[in-house]
C-alpha cells in the first residue's frame, strides 16, 4: 500500500500539474546505460545500488489469493474493442466543457458566448474552414493536449491500440472545432489536441495501469483504483461501469516496466528575462524539477514502451514553466549495444514569461517561451569509457508539426502573444554517465518556425545551448550546476528584426528516488 501511495504522488506531480517552470534542458537519458550495463554485468554494476529508496517491486501484486479467486476466465475489458462506449465517452467529453460555457460561465457580454452554436454556425465553420486562434499559451499548449488525452483514452481504454486511439483524439478534436463553438475551426487546436493529446494520453494510460493493481484486495485495492482514476479518469470510468474495479485478475504483463527511474532536483534558476545578455538584470527563482524515464528506447517494441518526462515548477509566475515529453514510436538496432535508430513523438511546453494582460500591458515580449508537437528521428549511441562510465549521445532532426514562439509586436485580445506554424530543426544531446549520475551533460536544440498565424509576416529561429554537471556527495545525493543560453532571432517584414539572448544559470541538489 505504501508503495502505491509513493508512486502515485510522484506520478501525479509528473503528469497532472497545471502550473509552470524549468531550464530549457531536454529529457535526461536516465536509463540509457542500464541495458548496456546488464549485458556487460561483469564490468558494470547495477544502478539500483546507488538509489536512496530501493522498493521490492518483485512482490507487486502478489497477494494471498487462491488461484480460483483470480478469475482465470475473466476477460479484461480492454482485450476487445468497444466502439459504442468509446463514442459515448467522446460525446460526454464534448458536452461537459460546452455545457459549462453555455450555461454555467458568467459572460459580461452574452454575445461573446461561443457555446451558442446552431446549424447556422456549424455551416459557417464547415464552409469557411481552418484558421489559427488567439488563445493564450497555456490554453493552446497544455489545456488542449490534456483534453486530447481524454479523447485518446476514450479509444485506448476501450480496446484500441496507440495508432487507432490517435485517430480517436483527432476525431474528437475535429468534432469540437466544427460543432462545439461559434469560432471557425482552429488548426493549431486540432494538432495540439490530437497529436499532443495522443502523447500525453498514452503516458497517462500507462501510468494509470502501473499504479492500478488488479490482484490487490481491501484498502490497497481501493486506493489503487482511486489513484489510477485520478491519473486517467476515462479508464477509471470504464473500470467502474464494466465491473473491473471489483474483479481480481492478473495485471497486464507490460504494466510494470522492467526499467523505471524518477530523479528530482531542487535549487535556484537565474535568467535574464530581457534578453540583453546580462545576468545582472536577472530574475532569480526557486525551482523544483523532475525527470522520469519509463522503459528503455533500445528495448522498446511498441509505441511508448519507452517514454520520458521532464517537468519543473518555479517560485515565480508562471509557476508551471516546463512539461517536456518524448515517446518511442518505432526503431531499429544498428549495432547491438552501441548504435540505435529511433523515431519519437515529442511534446514541449516551456514558459518563463511574466503574464501580461491584453489591452493593459504594452506590446513587446519579456522572457522565454517555446512549445511544439514534433516527430523526432534520431540516432542513439553508447560508448564505454573505462570500466564503469558511458558516453551516451543522441543526434536527430526536429520535424515540427506545430510550434509556438514569441511575437514582439502583437498581443491578441484572447491573450496570444506568440506566433505559430510548422518548422524544422536539429538536436544533439550527450552525457558522461556513471550509474544514475550525469557527470557532464550537454545539449543543443535549434528550430526554424515559419509563422502561419496573423500577423503572418515573420519567421523565427530558436536555439538553446545548455551545459550541466553533477557531483555525487553520497551514493544517492548530488550537487549540480548548469549554465546555458536561449537565443531567439525573429525576422519581421513590417517591423524591425529582434535578437534576444537569455543567459541561464541553475544551481541545484539532486536525488534519484525509484529504480525498478
Q: Which three cell numbers stand for residue 161?
A: 491500440
Residues of the chain with pLDDT under 50: 2-32, 40-68, 360
What DSSP state is assigned to residue 197? H
Nearest to 347 by CA among 497, 197, 486, 496: 197
Q: Which three cell numbers stand for residue 10?
A: 510522484
Report residue 461 CA to chain centroid gap: 23
Instruction: Show contacts of 222-230: CB within 8 Å, 24+ apart.
Output: 223/1, 223/4, 223/5, 223/8, 224/4, 227/4, 227/5, 227/8, 227/12, 230/8, 230/12, 230/16
pLDDT digits (tens, 9 = 90+) for 121-178: 999 999 999 999 999 999 999 999 999 999 999 999 999 999 999 999 999 999 999 9
Q: Which three cell numbers stand for residue 152?
A: 485518446
For residue 56, the model assigns a pLDDT of: 44
Compute the distance between CA of residue 380 and CA of residue 298 in angstroms, rounded to an integer: 9
pLDDT digits (tens, 9 = 90+) for 348-372: 999 998 876 655 455 568 889 999 9
For residue 20, the model assigns a pLDDT of: 32
Compute the distance between CA of residue 52 and CA of residue 29 in angstroms, rounded to an integer: 19
**186: buried, middle or exposed (CB in 10 Å: 19+, 13-18, 0-12)?**
buried
For residue 362, the model assigns a pLDDT of: 55
Kindly give, in sequence order, each residue whose CB lies less than 8 Å from that of residue 503, ignoring residues fewer than 6 positions away.
Answer: 271, 272, 277, 278, 279, 483, 484, 485
Kindly give, in sequence order, each residue whose CB lies less than 8 Å from that of residue 164, ignoring residues fewer than 6 positions away.
Answer: 155
Compute the distance between CA of residue 200 and CA of residue 142 in angstroms, rounded to an integer: 10
CB 380 within 8 A of CB 337: no
Kindly give, in sequence order, each residue whose CB lies less than 8 Å from that of residue 491, ignoring residues fewer than 6 positions away.
Answer: 458, 459, 460, 461, 497
For residue 388, the model assigns a pLDDT of: 86
Kindly give, in sequence order, each residue whose CB lies less than 8 Å from that of residue 481, ignoring residues fewer than 6 positions away.
Answer: 468, 469, 505, 506, 507, 508
For residue 13, the model assigns a pLDDT of: 36
Strands (E), 386-417: 389-406
Q: Which three cell numbers stand for residue 138?
A: 497555456
The residue count for the chain: 516
* CATH code of domain 21-49+258-515: 2.40.230
Domain ranges of the chain: 21-49+258-515, 77-246
**Which H, E and C letters describe 124-168, residue by residue?**
HHHHHCCECCCECHHHHHHHHHHHHHHHHHHHHCCCCCHHHHHHH
Q: Which three cell numbers stand for residue 461?
A: 529561429
CB 225 within 8 A of CB 236: yes
As a whole number of Å, the end-to-end CA separation of the chain is: 17
Amino acid at each position: 500500500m505504501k508503495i502505491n501511495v509513493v508512486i502515485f504522488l510522484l506520478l501525479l506531480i509528473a503528469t497532472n500539474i497545471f502550473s509552470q517552470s524549468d531550464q530549457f534542458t531536454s529529457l535526461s537519458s536516465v536509463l540509457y546505460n542500464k541495458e548496456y550495463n546488464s549485458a556487460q554485468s561483469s564490468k558494470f554494476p547495477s544502478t539500483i545500488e546507488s538509489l536512496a529508496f530501493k522498493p521490492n517491486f518483485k512482490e507487486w501484486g502478489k497477494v494471498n489469493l487462491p488461484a480460483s479467486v483470480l478469475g482465470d476466465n475473466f476477460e479484461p475489458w480492454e482485450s476487445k474493442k468497444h466502439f459504442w462506449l468509446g463514442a459515448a465517452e467522446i460525446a460526454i467529453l464534448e458536452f461537459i466543457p460546452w455545457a459549462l460555457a453555455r450555461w454555467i460561465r458568467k459572460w459580461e457580454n452574452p454575445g461573446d458566448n461561443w457555446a451558442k452554436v446552431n446549424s447556422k454556425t456549424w455551416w459557417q465553420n464547415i464552409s469557411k474552414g481552418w484558421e489559427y486562434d488567439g488563445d493564450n499559451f497555456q490554453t493552446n499548449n497544455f489545456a488542449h493536449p490534456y483534453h486530447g488525452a481524454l479523447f485518446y483514452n476514450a479509444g485506448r481504454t476501450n480496446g484500441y491500440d496507440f495508432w487507432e486511439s490517435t485517430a480517436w483524439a483527432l476525431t474528437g478534436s475535429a468534432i469540437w472545432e466544427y460543432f462545439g463553438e461559434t469560432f471557425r475551426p482552429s488548426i493549431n487546436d486540432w494538432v495540439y489536441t490530437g497529436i499532443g493529446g495522443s502523447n500525453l494520453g498514452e503516458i497517462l494510460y500507462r501510468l494509470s495501469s502501473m499504479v492500478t493493481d488488479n490482484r490487490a484486495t481491501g484498502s490497497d485495492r481501493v486506493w489503487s483504483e482511486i489513484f489510477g482514476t485520478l491519473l486517467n479518469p476515462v479508464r477509471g470510468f470504464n473500470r467502474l461501469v464494466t465491473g473491473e474495479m471489483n474483479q481480481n485478475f492478473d495485471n497486464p504483463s507490460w504494466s510494470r516496466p522492467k526499467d523505471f527511474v524518477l530523479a528530482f532536483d531542487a535549487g535556484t534558476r537565474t535568467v535574464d528575462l530581457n534578453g540583453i545578455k546580462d545576468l545582472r538584470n536577472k530574475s532569480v527563482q526557486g525551482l523544483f524539477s523532475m525527470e522520469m524515464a519509463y522503459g528503455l528506447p533500445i528495448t522498446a517494441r511498441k509505441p511508448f514502451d519507452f517514454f520520458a518526462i521532464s517537468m519543473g515548477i518555479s517560485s515565480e509566475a508562471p509557476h508551471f514553466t516546463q512539461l517536456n515529453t518524448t515517446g518511442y514510436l518505432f526503431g531499429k538496432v544498428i549495432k547491438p549495444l552501441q548504435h540505435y535508430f529511433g523515431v519519437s513523438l515529442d511534446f514541449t511546453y516551456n514558459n518563463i514569461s511574466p503574464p501580461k494582460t491584453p489591452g493593459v500591458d504594452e506590446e513587446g515580449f519579456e522572457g522565454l517561451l517555446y512549445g511544439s508537437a514534433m516527430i523526432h528521428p534520431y540516432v542513439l549511441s553508447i560508448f564505454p569509457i573505462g570500466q564503469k562510465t558511458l558516453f551516451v549521445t543522441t543526434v536527430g532532426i526536429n520535424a515540427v508539426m506545430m510550434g509556438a514562439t514569441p511575437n514582439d509586436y502583437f498581443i491578441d485580445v484572447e491573450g496570444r502573444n506568440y506566433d505559430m506554424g510548422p518548422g524544422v530543426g536539429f538536436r544533439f544531446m550527450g552525457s558522461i554517465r556513471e550509474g544514475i549520475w550525469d557527470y557532464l551533460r550537454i545539449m543543443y536544440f535549434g528550430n526554424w518556425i515559419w509563422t502561419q498565424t496573423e500577423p503572418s509576416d515573420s519567421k523565427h529561429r530558436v536555439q538553446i545551448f545548455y551545459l550541466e554537471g553533477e557531483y555525487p556527495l553520497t551514493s544517492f545525493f548530488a550537487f549540480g550546476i548548469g549554465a546555458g543560453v536561449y537565443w531567439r532571432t525573429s525576422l519581421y517584414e513590417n517591423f524591425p528584426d529582434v535578437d534576444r539572448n537569455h543567459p541561464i544559470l541553475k544551481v541545484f541538489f539532486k536525488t534519484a528516488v525509484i529504480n525498478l
